[in-house]
Amino acid sequence: MPETRVPRRRRFLVCEPRHFAVQYAINPWMQPDVRVDVDLAQQQWQSLISAYRSHGHTVETLEPVTGLPDMVFAANSAVVVGGRVFGSLFHAPERRPESTHYDTWFKTAGFDVYRPESVCEGEGDLVWTGRYVLAGTGFRTTREAHREVQEFFGHPVISLTLVDPYFYHLDTALFVLDDDNIVYYPEAFSAGSREVLARLYPDAVLATRDDATAFGLNSVSDGRNVFIAPQAEALAARLDERGYVPVPVDLSEFRKAGGGIKCCTQEIRS
């Protein structure tokens, strides 16, 4: 019998894809000549919000801004642990103005916001596990930012090197299931980083490239329910065998910009 998993209520910050488009290319998924169906993107995004709320989670929204098509990817704006907000400094100049709007939201909500000195893309590359931060580098967030994160939060930061440009953020190659375990795609990481993950999580759920290219690793788990791309069928089946409950949510339109469920979801941990 698979283990009975216990969900934990979460608080999420999201941003409506009213101005979502692919206007530039900053990762291999983005093709500016491919048209985005904004109406479909809106419908898919609303289905994600409905899924979160129907499972008992709190969802708060930030008003989108004209001219910032990637603002929908709220995860990249910050990482929040223990009520402390470590903001973002985007690698791409096109995305840097997003930080101001997210910082303003957090400050208005009563949070202090730390401004990083080094390139850092929030939960895109910084994954809180409940004990420490798994931190990606190789394409966006720098190792210098990892040091800043450790100094700011006072929690250990474990640097992991990403080697495949299709998995340019850590949250495209790895996600946390609960306080004890993760899912990840080994080939997205350097050999040394794979060894680190294997030592830390010997019972991890390992994903295939098909799982990863379906954005199955860009998932959100509340400890029991896993909000996951429906195209990642094999991964969903393995999670079910472990006692987790896959909740399929199709955000396929956002793949045109290299994003998915987690990219659209910033978790506020108080």
| Residues designated as active site | 169, 263
* CA–CA separation, 40 and 74 (whole Å): 19
* CA–CA separation, 172 and 169 (whole Å): 6
Amino acid letter, residue 135: A
CA-atom Rg of the chain in angstroms: 17
For 177-183, which contacts have Cβ atoms below 8 Å and span 24 or more sequence positions? 177/205, 177/221, 177/223, 177/226, 177/239, 177/242, 177/244, 178/5, 178/130, 178/221, 178/223, 179/129, 179/130, 179/131, 179/223, 181/205, 182/129, 182/134, 183/207, 183/217, 183/219, 183/235, 183/239
